[in-house]
Structure formats: structure tokens, C-alpha cells
Structure 1
């Protein structure tokens, strides 16, 4: 890859009391690339995602982000207002539970429009038109625009969260088990939607998932975590088709034998 990295992490370590959650973790992410972080529950996947996104500070190590002006920023040294602005503009976050990212007392269209307004949009007609367009892109009917999210199914809530997150065309999105807890048929539809939108918008993403099939479908590269360490990383198909680390072999074989 010739482009400079968009996000780089070196030597990330973090413990919760006597329990190490991250152990000397390095990460590189390039523009337009999706990196999947896989592993069992308790392996450190979500902790890593929260540290990379500045939501959680490491005990040691550094995370650097390259902005559109090619300036490098130490994510954990940024003032809180600057980090909040980054999350509203260049970055996005898709939670497993969309309720964490939606305002349940605000209409579907209002949820999408709020992120535009946070970036300075003020023309009501333009905001509503953009919200309608994005609801259409995530397969939510226009006649649901003024409905409250609490009237939506789980799959619709997740699609609404994706519309709210992507409406400002972020350069980098963090995804924490975005299809977790959904029925298989709903998962398949949502995965197709995520894959097409991320590819079309050329968004870089860090995806946390316990589902190897999801990682294979969405990600160009994969990082396998065990007990707070990345034990294997590389091109997704290469790692999954020819795993070298015993833990990766165990993960892959467990899928094949289900």
C-alpha cells in the first residue's frame, strides 16, 4: 500500500486491576480499508476498539490519527472538545446496541439530521432531504421518517444508526459487533448493506466481531486476538484459509465443525 496509514497504534497495554486486557498491541489501518478484530469473548477486542477510538486511555502506548491535512494527532493527548469534534466529523461509531447511539425520543429523520446540524447545517429543507436520502439508502421507507425509533425493529434500529453515522461521510468508522443479537436473515441483509456502503464511500473501518464469517465477508485484513494480544494478522482470506497460530487454527476449525 502506498498511502500513509490513517490510524496507527504502537505498544498499547491496559490492565483492569490485575487483569491484563491489552498486551503490547500494534495496529495499522490504511485509508479505505476494513480491519476485522476477531477472538473469543474476553480476548480484548472491544477494549482495543475503545482505546483506538479514544474512549478509553491505555496504561502505555500511543494511537496516532492522520487528519485530512496530513497532520498526525496523538489521540489520547487531544483536548476533550477536539476529540468530541473528531467523533462528530471524521469518525463514526456503530454500537452493537443501536440505542447507545440513537436518541429514542427523536424521530428517525431527526436522528440523522442531528449529526448534520452538529457539523453546522442549518437549512431545514436541505437537512430533511439529506435525511430522507440516507433513510432510503439504508432501506427505511420515507413514511417512517417522522416515526420514533422505539417503534422500529432491531434490524431497522441498526440501519438507522448506520444512516446517522455515515450521513457526514466520516473517514473512519469503529464497529462493535454491528450484527450481534440479530436474526440470521436480518444479519445477512445488514452485512450486505454495510459492505456496499463502506465500499462506495471508501470508508476505513475497524470491525470487532466474534463471527469469522462476518470478518471474511467484510474485511480486507484480519487481526486475531487472544488474552489481550494480537497473535496473528494478515490478509483475511490468507489467515483464515491457512492459519499459522494454534489459536487461529482452533477458531477456524470450530467454525468448520459447527
Structure 2
């Protein structure tokens, strides 16, 4: 029987007396996209930080089915192994692409650096792969030597995606990947993300406040409020027939907008 790719077990994170997230559990299966939604302060970003290895939970476990080790708690991994995991099997797409890019080097170098981090050394091959990935994310390959500062916000986000996916990760974490972009740019980026997820068979965890994003991208949906999970289920099921009063409020606010 296929094992979950990621098992989140009773994850809790506190900031002094304030709860970031509390007792959150779910499983993510190979090729599945999980959306996590909620208003600001709901705990979704704290949860994402805990499960992506960017922050440590106070309680609970995050178990990943690693290629070479099988299921392992990421907190029990050595620091070098965890760093390698984040360069190979995992990827993280930030809301602000500047947080995920090196702004002082070229677009090609941004993509190539991740290849070099996993051992690639042939310059011609690295440049060829970087140029190929620019094409995959709809950036003119002739801009391989341009720096990210010369790109629009949408192009920077697509470059960040290329940088993350070039090493063939199995699991991608996305924090408000379309936040701050114009509506037309959002739509194009969402189509790109959806196509890449399907083409590459990626699993993903996407945090967003935008229900339209999860409707388009997510197979399953988790709704958070005050650090706790209040509802979960298939995305269309949750959005079309919300059971929890908070979810009903979220959905109705979108319908009234």
C-alpha cells in the first residue's frame, strides 16, 4: 500500500502565551495538492513554517517518506541531511519572490545555483538546463543573463518557481504564490502552476487566503481559525457545502464580493 508522502501529526507552535497553531494533523499523498486557507492570524503561515522545516514546532511530528530513508521525522534528521532534502526533494515558493531569489545575479545563475548545490559542475549543462527552465516558466530564454530586478513581479515569481523546480523536487510548499500580483498576472501564473503540478506529478501544500486559488489548484482543503483546523475535505465539497460556520462565512464573503 502506498504510504503518505508527508504526515503531519499533532503539530503545535506557541509564541509565549499566543498560539500559532495547535494540534494540527493531516496526511499528504503522492501527487496530491493540499490547500490551507484562513484569514490573517488563523495560523496557516505558522503551520507552513513548521511543516516545511523553516521553523520547529513545540509539539508534534512531521514525517516525510524520504527516497533513501523511508518515513523519517524531519526534526530527527541531521542538519546536513535536512539541508540536502530542501535542495532536492523539497522546494519553497515565497509570496515575495525577492525572498526566494538572489537579486544580484542573473536569472540563469539563480536557476543554476540550485543545480550546483546538488553537485552539478559542468557549466554548459547548467546553463542549458537553466535556459530550458526559463522557457518552461514562460520567460524569454534570451533573458537568461538579465538580473531579476529587471523583471516584473510576475516574471520574478515565475523565475523563483524555475529555481525551485529545476532539481526535480517531489514536494513543493507555496506561501501565497499569487499574492500582490495583478489579477491578469495571477491568472496566468495559476495556469502555469497547475500545468507544472500535473506535468511533473508534484505534491504541494499551498497556503492562501484566496479561495479561487485553492479551487483551481487544490485536491483537498483545510480551513484554519485561531490556530486550529476547523474543517477539511475535498476542495469542491468544502467550498460548495461548507459545514463549519467559519467556513460558511469565508465562502459567503467571497460570493458577496
For the criterion TM > 0.5, the same-fold answer is: yes
Aligned residue for 1:221? 220
Deviation of residue 80 (structure 1)?
1.6
Give me the TM-score of the superposition, normalised by structure 1. 0.98
Deviation of residue 70 (structure 1)?
5.9
For 1:74-153, list aligned pairs within 5 A.
Answer: 74-153=73-152
For 1:35-54, list aligned pairs within 5 A.
Answer: 35-54=34-53
Matches of 2:80 and 2:100, distance apart in 1:
19
Matches of 2:73 and 2:7, distance apart in 1:
10
Matches of 1:19 and 1:255, distance apart in 2:
29
Matches of 1:27 and 1:57, distance apart in 2:
17
Aligned residue for 2:161? 162
Give me the TM-score of the superposition, normalised by structure 2. 0.98
For 1:6-17, list aligned pairs within 5 A.
Answer: 6-17=5-16
Matches of 2:187 and 2:8, distance apart in 1:
31
Deviation of residue 3 (structure 1)?
2.3
Matches of 2:146 and 2:20, distance apart in 1:
41
Matches of 2:26 and 2:46, distance apart in 1:
13
Structure 1, unpaired ranges of 5+: none
Cα deviations across residues 128-176 of structure 1 (Å, max 9, x unaligned)?
1111110001111011100011111100000000000001110000000
Aligned residue for 2:249? 250
Matches of 1:91 and 1:4, distance apart in 2:
17
Cα deviations across residues 30-58 of structure 1 (Å, max 9, x unaligned)?
01110000000000011000100111111
Deviation of residue 84 (structure 1)?
0.8
- Partner of 2:174, secondary structure, is strand
Aligned residue for 1:30? 29
Deviation of residue 13 (structure 1)?
1.0
What is the aligned-residue RMSD (CA, Å)?
A: 0.9
Q: 1:126 to 1:193 in 2, by over 3 A?
A: same
